[in-house]
Structures are given as C-alpha cells and as structure tokens.
Amino acid sequence: MVSIVRLAAAAFALAASAAAFAQGYPSKPVKVVVPWPPGQATDVAARAVADKLSLVLGQSFVIDNRAGAGGTMGTDFAAKAPPDGYTILAGSSGPISISPHVQKVPYDPDKDLEPIALIASTPYVLVVTPSLPVATVQEFIALLRANPGKYNFASSGTGATSHLVGELFNSTSRVTATHVPYKGSSPALTDVIAGHVTYTFETSASVLAHVKAGKLKALAVSSAARALSLPEIPTLVEAVGYAGFDLRAWIGLVAPAGIPREARARLAAETQRALSTAEMKERLLGLGLEPSTLTAEEFGPFVKQQNERFGAIARQAKIQVQ
C-alpha cells in the first residue's frame, strides 16, 4: 500500500512539475536560429512568427542568423544545442529534407531534430522561355520527347530543391534534358527569360512577377493543390495525371531532439494560433508563402514524407554535391 501511495505521489509531483514548467515557459529569451542570411524567405517567415511569439509569450524570441553551407551550418548548430526549449531552429526543406541525401552533413535530421510546427510552404512552378512554341504542359512534354537531349533546364544549384523537382518531372515525364546549375534562382531565371535555358522549376514567389509581366510562361505547379498566387495554373496531377506529384519547399519551427514536451506543445499551439490570424496570413502570402494549415501532429509525418521523397529522387538521379 505504501509503495502505491509513493508512486501516486511521485506521479502527482511529476505532473505538477510539468504543469509549472508549461506555465513558466519561457522564463527567459528564446534564440531562433535561422541558417540563412537576413531577407531570405526562411528568415522573413521566422521573424514574422517570432514577433508574434514574443508578444503572446512575454519573452523575446531573438533571431540568430547563422548562414553558410546551404543552411547546414546553422542547422547543425541548432541540432547540437541544449534541448531545453531556449534554442529552436527555423528549419526548411533544403538543409533538412535534401542536404542529408546529397552530401555529408554533421547531423541526422531524424535523430537530432524534433518538429514543432509548420509555418508555410510554397510550390514550385514549371516555367519556360516565352518564345517556346507550347501553350500547355502536355505540349511541352511532347516537344521534349520528340527532341531528346536538345533542351536544357536550370536550377539554383546542384542538389537544390529546384534541381530535384526538375529531375522528378523529367523522370516521370520520360524525357531527357541537360541540367544547368546556377548559383541562385535569380541568375537561373534571368537565363530562362533570355532563352539561354529552356525551362526551370522555381518557387511561386520567385516567378510571380515575371509571369504576370509575360517574361515567363507558367505551365504547371508541383504541389497537389493549385498555388494560391497562381490559381489559374494547373497542377501536374491535374494536367497530366501525375498521381502523387507533390513537392514543395517548406519552412517550420523545429528543435533539438529531447525538447521538453510542455515547451514543444506551447510553441506549437501559439505558432498555429498566430498563423490563423488574418494579419499573419496576409503577411506570408505577400511573400509568396502559403500559410500552413497542418496541425502539430501532422507536421512530423509531413517532414518524414518530404525527406523520403527527396531522398528517393536524389538516389534515382544519382545527385551528389562535392
């Protein structure tokens, strides 16, 4: 009987301690590591959420930009931080879903990081040089099939999200084209506009102004649902029946594995509450980002699915970054 009473008392104390932690968290400023330079999409989205969290939780959420090595330096720093809830990461698809499959990185996203909440995602848009004599993605695929190896496609770099989306499109469409990597999306789009490269997949935020100005021709989007910024452009699922073709760049809050459950739950709840406001939706949509509607419970499986999907593409295309 005594042991049962002791166990009950211990359980009660543990529950009380957890409740006290949840009520008191955060009790000091929280560092938000952004593994990209200021002004990049992940940075801007993280700052928007950090502003809201600072307001509602009563502590500063301080952005710490640690750019370098395609986002892997800052991601590694956050992954190795104490899992106490006071260092979190503005994670994104590049260093978490792709880099571990195409190069050696000093962290394991499955073991070292824990998802908190998805902030936003953005589909990739298949755009072609305006002079190309096609009006639909069906016509474009037919042109590529009739001229194997004649055309080329750009990306923002070997192993970048745009590269992998392009490789998946090519293999699914059974077409052959030459990959031309660039150092960033801006020079890649410049050469597609000029006609030096035939096509590319880039984020809706990157291509929107060029499409509206008639400098690029948009044929399809890479997500399962149409892009909010280009609702007139069909998905590849709709246009050519590519079932399951759903690749997006994503941005979310993650933490070092082992973060206290209560801290994770509070961060997730407040982030989702912030994302439900009209102000936050408008702010993210203005950046070409689509605010997340996933719950905290759905974010983990989403990241796992994205990691597996990008890994499979990288292996099939034999992509390696030296």
Domain shared by 263 and 208, yes or no: no
Lowest-confidence segment of 5-14, 88-97, 212-221 by average pLDDT? 5-14
pLDDT of residue 184: 87
Look at residue 178 and tell me if it is in a domain.
yes
Q: What percent of the chain is predicted at pLDDT more than 90?
A: 84
Mean pLDDT confidence for 290-298: 93
pLDDT of residue 81: 98
Of the candidates 176, 206, 240, which is a domain's last residue?
Answer: 240
Mean pLDDT confidence for 120-125: 94
Look at residue 305 and tell me if it is in a domain.
yes
pLDDT digits (tens, 9 = 90+) for 169-179: 999 999 999 99
Identity of residue 105: V
Question: Phi and psi dihedrals of 249, rounded to 5?
Answer: -80, 140
pLDDT digits (tens, 9 = 90+) for 62-106: 999 999 988 999 999 999 999 999 999 999 999 999 999 999 999
Of the candidates 240, 273, 290, which is a domain's last residue?
Answer: 240
Look at residue 10 and tell me if it is in a domain.
no
- The answer on pLDDT for 18 being more than 70 is no
- The answer on pLDDT for 305 being more than 70 is yes
Domain residues for 254?
22-121+250-317
pLDDT of residue 3: 52
Domain shared by 99 and 171, yes or no: no
Lowest-confidence segment of 141-150, 157-166, 254-263 by average pLDDT? 157-166
> pLDDT-based confidence at 15, cuts 50/70/90?
very low
Domain shared by 112 and 142, yes or no: no
- The answer on pLDDT for 5 being more than 70 is no
Mean pLDDT confidence for 177-202: 95
In whole angstroms, what is the distance from residue 22 CA to residue 1 CA? 32
pLDDT digits (tens, 9 = 90+) for 258-292: 999 999 999 999 999 999 999 999 999 988 899 99
- The answer on pLDDT for 218 being more than 80 is yes
Domain shared by 203 and 116, yes or no: no
Of the candidates 222, 240, 258, which is a domain's last residue?
Answer: 240
Look at residue 245 and tell me if it is in a domain.
no
Domain shared by 112 and 127, yes or no: no
Domain shared by 135 and 116, yes or no: no
- The answer on pLDDT for 26 being more than 50 is yes
CATH code, domain with 313: 3.40.190.150
Domain shared by 205 and 284, yes or no: no
Look at residue 4 and tell me if it is in a domain.
no
Domain shared by 230 and 153, yes or no: yes
What is the rounded average pLDDT for all residues in the chain? 92
Which is it for strands 87-92 and 152-155: parallel, antiparallel or unpaired? Answer: unpaired
DSSP letter, residue 234: P
Look at residue 303 and tell me if it is in a domain.
yes
Angle between helix 261-275 and helix 2-24 axes, rounded to 10 deg: 40
pLDDT of residue 17: 45
In whole angstroms, what is the distance from residue 201 CA to residue 235 CA? 13
Domain shared by 64 and 173, yes or no: no
The DSSP code sequence of 148-179 is TTT-EEEESSTTSHHHHHHHHHHHHHT---EE
Look at residue 9 and tell me if it is in a domain.
no
5 vs 27, higher pLDDT: 27
CATH code, domain with 185: 3.40.190.10
pLDDT digits (tens, 9 = 90+) for 27-68: 999 999 999 999 888 999 999 999 999 999 999 999 999 999
Domain shared by 234 and 129, yes or no: yes
pLDDT of residue 286: 84
Tokens of 299: 């974010």
CB–CB of 241/224 below 8 Å? no
* Coil/strand/helix, residue 182: coil
Domain shared by 114 and 213, yes or no: no
Number of domains within the chain: 2
pLDDT of residue 205: 84
192 vs 16, higher pLDDT: 192
pLDDT of residue 223: 94
Mean pLDDT confidence for 142-149: 97
Residues contacting 242, CB < 8 A, separation 6+? 172, 236
pLDDT of residue 288: 83
pLDDT of residue 4: 53
Look at residue 6 and tell me if it is in a domain.
no
Domain shared by 236 and 128, yes or no: yes
CA 22 to chain centroid, in Å, comes to 28
Mean pLDDT confidence for 8-20: 44
